[in-house]
Amino acid sequence: MKGVAGSKESNDCLITIESSNETKIEINSIVGAFFYDQIYSTIENTLKNENITDVHVIVEDKGALDYTIKSRLLTAIERMREDV
């Protein structure tokens, strides 16, 4: 099962989430040196709130703010759930 949401436009991010045998978060961000931890915890907390484990999340970030990252992840999750 897989879901993709967002874009690689500036101030946006493209998030891919796929079921896997363990949870793994991969972040490629143009502002990673400044915001890696913050992006990571946004992803981690959102997964926790949604009770999701055992997924591989890939974030390709072009400077998105936290609420953008969170909303893209939630859409990707919705799409993953629909992907059967």
Partner 1 sequence: MFRSLLFIPGNNPSMIQNADIFMADGIIFDLEDAVSISEKNNARNLIKHYLDNSSVLPKQVVLRVNSFGSEWFIKDLEILKTKKVNYLLVPKLDYESLNTISSFLSDFEEKEKLEETKIIALVETAKGITEMSLFAQNNRLMGVLLGAEDLTNDLEIKRTETSLEIFYARSQVIYFCRANNLIAIDTPYTDINNIDGLKTDCKYAYGLGMKAKAAIHPNQLEIINDIFSPTKEEIEWAKAIIKLSEENPEKGAFQYRGKMIDKPIIERAKKIIQKAEIFNLL
Partner 2 sequence: MINGVGRYIPDNLKPFISSDNYQGIPRKQIPKKTKVENTQFVENISTIFELINIKSNMTLSFHHHLRNGDKVIQIVAEEIKNRNLLNMHIAPSSIFPSYTNLVDLIKNKNITNIHTNYLNGEVAKIISQGYLDGELIMNTHGGRAVVIESGELPIDVAFIACPVVDKNGNGHGAIGKSACGTLGYAISDLEYAKRVVLVTDTIVENLEEYQIDGKFVDYVVKIDSIGDSSGIVSGTTEVTKDPIGLKIAKDCANLLDYLGLIKNDFSMQTGAGKTSLAVVKFVNDLMVKKGIVGSFASGGITKAYVDMLESNLFKSLYDVQCFDLDAVLSYAKNKNHLAMSASEYGNPYEDNPICERLDFVILGATEIDLDFNVNVTTDSLGNLIGGSGGHADIAHGADVTIIISPLVKSRIPIIKEKVMTVTTPGSDVDILITERGIAINPRRVDLRQKLKNSNYPIFEINELLEMTHKITGVPRKIETDDKIIGYVQYRDGTFLDCLRKVKDEY
Residue from 8, 9, 24, 31 in contact with partner 2 (CB under 8 A) = 31
Q: State the nearest-atom distance from the C-beta of 75 to partner 1, in Å.
A: 5
Asked if residue 27 lies in contact with residue 61, where contact means CB atoms within 8 angstroms, the answer is yes
Residue from 12, 27, 39, 47 in contact with partner 1 (CB under 8 A) = 12
23 binds partner 1 (CB under 8 A): no
As a whole number of angstroms, the distance between CA 55 and CA 63 comes to: 23
34 binds, among partner 1, partner 2, none (CB under 5 to 8 A by kind): partner 2
Could you say which residues in the range 47-76 bind partner 1, by CB under 8 A?
Answer: 64-68, 70-72, 74-75
- Token match 């400077």: residue? 63
Which residues of this chain interact with partner 1, rule CB under 8 A?
5-6, 9-12, 64-68, 70-72, 74-75, 78-79
